[in-house]
Amino acid sequence: MAGETTTLTRTRVSAGNRNPRYDILFEPVKIGPVTAPNRFYQVPHASGMTNALPRVRAQFRETKAEGGWGVVCTGACSIHPTSDDSPLPFAKLWDKADIQSHALMTEAVHRHGSLAGVELWHGGASVFNRTSRLAPLSPSGTPWMATHVGFMSNLRPKVMDRADILDMLRWQAEGARKARSAGFDIVYVYAGMGYLPYEFLLPEYNQRTDEYGGSVANRVRLVQQMIEVTKEAVGDTCGVALRISLEELRAKASPHAESEAHEVIDRLKDLPDLFDVKMDSSPTDCAASRFTPEGSHEPVIDFVKKVTSKPVVGVGRFTAPDAMVSQLKRGILDLIGGARPSIADPFLPRKIDEGREDEIRECIGCNICISSWHDSVPVRCTQNPTAGEEWRRGWHPERMQPKRSDDKILVVGGGPAGLECALSLARRGYAVTLADKNREFGGRLRFETKLPGLSTWRRVLDYRLGRLQTMTKVDLFLESDLTTDDILEFGCQHVVTATGSNWTTEIYTSMEVPVGRIDGPNVFTPSDLAAGRLPQGPTVVFDFDNYYMGGVVAEFLAEQGNQVSYVTPAGHASAWTIMTNELPRVHQALSRRGIGVTTLNRVTAFDGEAATLAQLFTAEETKIAARNLVIVGLRRPEDALYHALMERDLAGAGIKSVQRAGDALAPGAIVHAVHSGHRVARELDEPVSEELYKLDAPIVLG
Ligand code: ADP
Ligand code: SF4
């Protein structure tokens, strides 16, 4: 197995077009006994790819190694059944089958000269062991906060005794040895994000009176010993990394150092081969662009390099090479960590290396990727429709299968679905015409990216339009409101209608049965707002779409100077944004703008002076005085063009196929539209298969 063959550090040869300013990004970095071939480090991140999907996982990670990431880590790997995150998807490294399962990934990563890393993980009191039914472990029996529905449990953790601590150290050492057998080059001790070793670091969770509790020197002892046993297990063959969350510790005063974070790092400074530094909770660590700019970790982690001489890696949603170089030159980081930027563009390093920065598909910070983990499914990405599809659908982010004919294709509608479809068809070599009735491309993005916090989402448009504009066999037409006659006369063989969707004024009962509409001169939907029809004066926003739109529209209208009230039948504002780490910030934003939030209520009527509300469970009625009502509820496809076309003599006009993509097929988030447009392009002209995608299976030992 690759573990015995030490590390491959093949030097990658640049195509010669690299901007010399970025040479520093391609310098090798020693991590203990191994050497990263460059400074691009894909830090461990959740992928939803458990040991049940070993081939999906291996190819997902391999694609990043192929794209030039010098280090590619797999996500957290449980070292023992007492660390059982179910129902959330988690990988494990418990037995021989697990070793083989991970070996698929390490071998795949090594094929491209990159190092493979593994984040050995024990969740402590933050997991509830629903499958193993073993008592969760914790320093002092204090449960971890569990406000996320998927995380909640009635089981409280047990207090670890001395034997448990010795077990923990043994599991870590055994996990490290298994990791080495699986071929990993970098093995982690993970003391972050609420997990067990982190719980020992924080005095609120660690109230022990033995040598593992009390002073920082005692609280850090478990982490210290975990690093020591890991080094003993693999130290001369693998780099040993410490991943540590520093947000809470940095906020705590220390009698010995600038903060407890400084003291902890100082006490550990010579032990690991690498420090991987981060924030403490998913909403701050993996913060959405709607509320948090790039580089947000810096004020918390900027001191680490001053305290230790070991290399430091950290993240910041960096997609611009200048920002990366600045992190290195200012002495903040030695390695540029990437999770989301590596999902959105696995080939980001190669593009910089080859002087193709303008081809980078930049992460938009929407956090759909993290929502996949909360949904317990393999990772999805708004910007990169091939993420998670590398093995099961055979989709590569940079390579498309060539066209099968010289057919011409007309794509109607230049929103996310149409743009992605046209670009992917053009990349296959087809002659493509993209037409939109508006004066600009972008579809829903034209309005949505002007809403508070969503400007970064413009990258969905900019990347695609930028690429399309460089392609020769692509014609782009604006202000072209196409009719069926226009299309029949156009002279194409395939038509893709990506004509979007419209928000409606439909409403539901408390039993979620459709119950008609609320219409009137002062009733609006987001489609009205996008068209420039804006309410003036006191406004109720009634949101049962539950994703970002209701909250964002409320913010937008408040920003325009209107008094806004937000009403939802859900338990929180923009309730689904718990999945994208945004929910706490949505509530803060609404409160900051003076927007009153009423949950567990439906709007049942509106007369131009007041909205009538009914409590979801008791039906108790209340009223909110308002001149306008904005309903953010249901969307219906804008598919009239498609249906009208299907009534016509298509064969007579030489048209072989008419399809719908994106919201015109089934309204969804931007991620759905991009995936849909991409899929139509991939499958056009291809033989139809019964098997939509390949099914992976766990490794089973005979
Ligand atoms: P999606 O998210 O599925 O891409 P959007 O609503 O963002 O959907 O985009 C749909 C686009 O289709 C809009 O830009 C709209 O102007 C355009 N469109 C709708 N009907 C026509 C038509 N008949 N001719 C040209 N463009 C159209
Ligand atoms: Fe970035 Fe969104 Fe893709 Fe996640 S889903 S990697 S946040 S673009």
Minimum CA distance residue for ligand 2 atom 6: 340
Determine whether the shortest distance from the Cβ of 487 to ligand 1 is under 6 A: no
Ligand nearest to the CA of 582: 2
Minimum CA distance residue for ligand 2 atom 5: 381
Ligand 1 midpoint to CA 415 (Å): 6
Ligand 2 midpoint to CA 567 (Å): 29
Determine whether the shortest distance from the Cβ of 412 to ligand 1 is under 6 A: yes
Minimum CA distance residue for ligand 2 atom 8: 363
Q: Which atom of ligand 2 is nearest to the CA of 365?
A: 7
Q: Name the CATH code of domain 408-500+638-683 (choices 3.50.50.60, 3.40.50.720, 1.20.1250.20, 3.40.250.10).
A: 3.40.50.720
- CA–CA separation, 537 and 558 (whole Å): 10
What six digits make up the tokens of 33? 């006994």
Ligand 2 midpoint to CA 137 (Å): 33
Minimum CA distance residue for ligand 2 atom 2: 366
Pocket test for ligand 2, best of 290, 296, 319, 367 (most atoms within 8 A of CB): 367
- CA–CA separation, 599 and 166 (whole Å): 48
Q: Per-residue b/e over 105-133, b at no fewer than 16 CB within 10 Å?
A: bbbbbbebbbbbbbbbbbbbbbbbbeebe
Residue 436 near residue 445, CB atoms below 8 Å: no
Nearest to 41 by CA among 257, 241, 255: 241
Mutual angle of helices 54-66 and 96-110, in 10-degree steps = 20
DSSP 8-class letter at 526: H
What six digits make up the tokens of 403? 């066209």
What six digits make up the tokens of 411? 């794509």
Pocket test for ligand 2, best of 343, 374, 379 (most atoms within 8 A of CB): 343
What six digits make up the tokens of 149? 């529905």
Determine whether the shortest distance from the Cβ of 300 to ligand 1 is under 6 A: no
Ligand nearest to the CA of 495: 1
Nearest to 188 by CA among 392, 367, 350, 41: 41
Strands 335-338 and 40-42: parallel
Minimum CA distance residue for ligand 2 atom 1: 363
Instruction: Name all residues whose Cβ lies below 6 A of ligand 2.
Output: 340, 343-344, 363-369, 381-383
Which helix (H) or strand (E) element contains residue 426? helix 416-428
Strands 158-159 and 137-138: parallel
Read off the amino acid at residue 257: A
DSSP 8-class letter at 622: E
Handedness of CA 173, 179, 184, 186 (dihedral sign): negative
- CA–CA separation, 450 and 543 (whole Å): 19
Nearest to 90 by CA among 63, 52, 145: 52
Q: Which atom of ligand 2 is nearest to the CA of 368?
A: 5
Is the CATH number of domain 505-635 3.50.50.60? yes
Pocket test for ligand 2, best of 369, 420, 674 (most atoms within 8 A of CB): 369
Ligand 1 midpoint to CA 430 (Å): 21
Residues 6+ apart with CB under 8 A from 293: none
* Domain boundaries of the chain, sorted by first residue: 2-374, 408-500+638-683, 505-635
DSSP 198-249: HHHH-TTT----STTSSSHHHHTHHHHHHHHHHHHHHTTTSEEEEEEE-HHH
Ligand nearest to the CA of 386: 2
Predicted pLDDT of residue 15: 58
Predicted pLDDT of residue 3: 35
pLDDT in tens, 626-648: 999 999 999 999 999 999 999 99
Helix %, strand %, coil % of the chain (to 5): 35, 20, 50
What six digits make up the tokens of 155? 């089981």
How many Å is the maximal CA-CA distance in the chain? 85
Ligand 1 midpoint to CA 68 (Å): 36
Ligand 1 midpoint to CA 413 (Å): 4
Determine whether the shortest distance from the Cβ of 175 to ligand 1 is under 6 A: no
Nearest to 344 by CA among 315, 371, 383, 317: 383
Q: Which atom of ligand 1 is nearest to the CA of 436?
A: 26
Handedness of CA 245, 247, 248, 250 (dihedral sign): positive
- CA–CA separation, 157 and 128 (whole Å): 8
Determine whether the shortest distance from the Cβ of 436 to ligand 1 is under 6 A: yes
Residues 6+ apart with CB under 8 A from 40: 25, 68, 69, 70, 71, 335, 336, 338, 348, 349
Ligand nearest to the CA of 294: 2
- CA–CA separation, 604 and 595 (whole Å): 20
Q: Which atom of ligand 1 is nearest to the CA of 663?
A: 3
Give Cα 484 distance to the centre of its chain. Answer: 39
In CATH, what number does 2-374 get? 3.20.20.70
Ligand nearest to the CA of 368: 2
Residues belonging to the active site: 195
Ligand 1 midpoint to CA 459 (Å): 18
Question: What distances in angstroms separate CA 664 from CA 89, 353, 426, 514, one per listed residue?
Answer: 32, 39, 21, 21
Residue 194 near residue 144, CB atoms below 8 Å: yes
Determine whether the shortest distance from the Cβ of 590 to ligand 1 is under 6 A: no
- Other Cβ atoms closer than 10 A to 164: 16
Minimum CA distance residue for ligand 2 atom 3: 381
- CA–CA separation, 38 and 35 (whole Å): 9
- Which residue ranges of the chain lie beneath pLDDT 50? 1-11
- CA–CA separation, 614 and 601 (whole Å): 5
Same fold, 408-500+638-683 and 505-635: no
Pocket test for ligand 2, best of 47, 69, 319, 383 (most atoms within 8 A of CB): 383
Determine whether the shortest distance from the Cβ of 662 to ligand 1 is under 6 A: yes
Ligand 2 midpoint to CA 340 (Å): 6
Ligand nearest to the CA of 502: 1
3-state secondary structure (DSSP) of residue 664: helix
Q: Could you tell me where the beta strands, DSSP code E, fall in 18-57? A: 29-31, 34-36, 40-42
Determine whether the shortest distance from the Cβ of 479 to ligand 1 is under 6 A: no
Mutual angle of helices 162-181 and 96-110, in 10-degree steps = 50
Strands 628-632 and 239-245: unpaired
Ligand 1 midpoint to CA 454 (Å): 20
Ligand 1 midpoint to CA 509 (Å): 31
